[in-house]
Structure 1
Amino acid sequence: MKERPILFSGPMVRALLDGSKTQTRRIVKNQPPADVSPIRVAHYHPTVITRTGDEEPGAEIFGAYSDDGEWGSKCPYGEPGDRLWVRETWQGPMWEEGTWDPDTDYHKPEFCEYRADGGPIPEYVDFEDNLHQGWKPSIHMPRWASRITLEITGVRVERLQSISEADAAAEGVESLRNEGEYWKDYLRSTERCDELICINARDSFRTLWDRINGDGAWAANPWVWVVEFKRI
């Protein structure tokens, strides 16, 4: 079992915490060719070229590969049974003024604040009594500050637009119930109006994908890793 970090935005962190998000899709960096043969996801031995120019099976890896052997890619997120620890925007370690205890280990999530929780921008005083205010970027979060750990339960590869309605809901898009069930539009919603709607989860996920990856990202329809997980 291996552990790896993974970044999530604030809305997706909240979806992880409330249990509505059990999947994530990430673009396959080494995209298959347009005429790729059927793709499988499993352990396999990629072909390597020796110093003498001969081809031979390489070390076993877990990832995706085409039936004809012309394309393959190692999964950067791991395999079922591996774990992902979540990086999110944060600040810490922190403690109340006058409560510092030299015998306490403050390098724990309980002494951190997280932007996804919706609290105010934290203020803190350094060891020289200088006042600071702000968040730390998720990319800089160390393992000790992570409060969410996920166990991978499944991995597959598919075209982005192949996502089903059920899988779109499992991506954690926000459902809105106003005279029926609707879903958040992540492209048009603003701080003033947070409930502009989509009529289904799949369309909501389309807006989320374009918001995260840029205009036209959904239309590009790339191959993506589909990583399923459970929170532990």
Structure 2
Amino acid sequence: MTIRPIILRDEEAQAIAEGRQTQLRRPVDESRLCVLTRRPVRSDFFFEMGADRALSAREGVHPVALNPYGAVSILLAELDEDEDPKRLGVKPEEFDFLCPFVEGNTHLSTFESGKQWTIAPHGRQQLWVKEAWRCWSGDPDRATYRAWHKDEEAKSRRVAGTYGWNSASSMPRALSRLTLNVSSVRLERIQHVTEADARALGVKPLECIAAEQRILGEDTSRTHGTHPHTLAFAVQWDTAFRRSMWIQNPWTWVISFSHDELHLRRAERREPKSARKAATT
């Protein structure tokens, strides 16, 4: 079994703890996107052009680029650094994506939005959740989480003898209350989110539509009346990822998961009654 950390925002952590969320999305850093080839890859014109002219790549790790439709090309470095790298297109079954959230085999799957690259995990793989926290005496049973608090005043409040909330990135493994069992990861553009996806992302419908035109631009196929969860997710996305805005339609890692029930039960036992009551109102 492999377990990796993942940082969640407050609203994500609480939606997962309440059982409302079974999907996460994160921007793909295309400047660092790589694949692993397990055998040499050669151009379709290898034999026609000859080994000295045709493009090829050895087995191993290679940087890649995605075209607008998701086709994958290995970037082959040139001896002259001023020249752009040559691109060697690769086919399904010739490579596996190196994903920061899971290790597995890459293949093409068909979804509502079309064919998408999907990563099937090797064995059981988990993500342990890092979120904003604080703890007294290092005792996990005395840990509290900022996601429990709805109002901004409580989230920013400092407690006597402490320095307020600790950042999610600093959370130790022992204080994590949530563990996610990864079932699959796929690559998909953010605007391909469906209303069903948005529900799985744990968002609640927008209560106002002031940001609708700003988020969707010229896309009139989705409105507050027909896609309330999608619009709510679009607003949430733009707030969280300002370098990968919805209107830019970036590639994303789509992480599907199930909850680790043991950790959920432990978290529920530790959650104060006031927080549980607030979460249900």
**Fold equivalence (TM over 0.5):** yes
Taking a change above 3 Å as real, the CA distance of residues 214 and 149 of structure 1, as seen in their structure-2 partners, is same
Indicate which of 129, 153, 176 corresponds to 1:86. 129
Aligned length: 183
Sort the Cα spacing of 1:149 and 1:170 in 2 relative to 1 into closer, same or farther, 3 A: same
- Match of 2:86? none
- 1:106-145 residue pairs with structure 2 within 5 A? 106-108=138-140, 110-118=141-149, 120=154, 121=157, 123=159, 131-145=161-175
Structure with greater proportional helix content: 2
1:77 aligns with 2:90: no
C-alpha separation between the residues in 2 aligned to 1:187 and 1:23?
26
- Rounded to whole Å, the distance in 1 between the matches of 2:244 and 2:187 is 20
Does residue 162 of the first structure (1) align with residue 168 of the second (2)?
A: no
Which amino acid letter does the alignment assign opposite residue 85 of structure 1?
A: W
**1:28 corresponds to 2:28:** yes
Conserved 8 A contact 1:187-1:211: no
Q: CA deviation at 1:58?
A: 2.0
Three-state SS of the structure 2 residue aligned to 1:166 is: helix
Distance verdict in 2 for CA 1:28–1:187, change over 3 Å:
farther
The answer on 1:66 being equivalent to 2:72 is yes
Q: What is residue 279 of structure 2 aligned with on the other side?
A: none
Whole-angstrom distance in 2 between the partners of 1:138 and 1:155: 23
Q: Quick check: 1:83–1:150 contact (8 Å CA) kept in 2? A: yes
**1:214 to partner: Cα distance:** 2.1
CA distance in 1, matches of 2:158, 2:26: 31
Return the structure number with greater relative CO, CA threshold 8 A, min gap 6: 1
Aligned match of 2:241 in 203, 208, 213? 213
Paired AA for residue 123 in structure 1: V
Deviation at 1:123, TM superposition (A): 2.5
CA 74–231 in structure 1, closer or farther in 2 if over 3 Å, else same: same
Change (3 A) 1:78 1:154: same
Q: Which residue of 57, 60, 72 corresponds with 2:59?
A: 57
What CA distance in whole angstroms lies between the structure 2 residues aligned with 1:46 and 1:160? 32
Q: Does the Cα contact within 8 Å between 1:186 and 1:204 map onto a contact in 2?
A: no
> Is residue 2:259 matched to residue 1:231?
yes
Tell me the amino acid that sits aligned with residue 86 of structure 1. V
Amino acid at match of 2:15: A
Gaps of 5+ in 2: 42-55, 62-69, 74-88, 104-120, 212-222, 261-281
One-letter identity of the residue aligned with 1:20: R
Determine which of 153, 167, 171 is the counterpart of 2:183. Answer: 153
1:82 and 1:11 mapped to 2: Cα distance? 23
In the superposition, relative to structure 1, how do residues 47 and 144 fare at CA in structure 2: closer, same or farther (>3 Å)? farther
The superposition leaves residues 45-82 of structure 1 with CA deviations (integer Å, 9 ceiling, x where unpaired) of 3769xxxxx842127xxxx9838329974110014331
- Distance in 1 of aligned mates of 2:2 and 2:244: 34
Q: Deviation at 1:198?
A: 4.3
5+ residue gaps, structure 1, are 34-41, 49-53, 96-105, 125-130, 176-182, 189-196
Q: Normalization by structure 2: what TM-score?
A: 0.56
Q: CA deviation at 1:2?
A: 1.1
8 Å CA contact 2:36–2:59 kept in 1: the answer is: no
2:10 corresponds in structure 1 to 10
Q: Is the 8 A contact 1:10 1:115 kept in 2?
A: yes
Contact 1:187 1:208 in 2 (8 A): no
Distance 1:47 1:220 in 2: 35
Structure 2 distance, partners of 1:187, 1:231, is 34
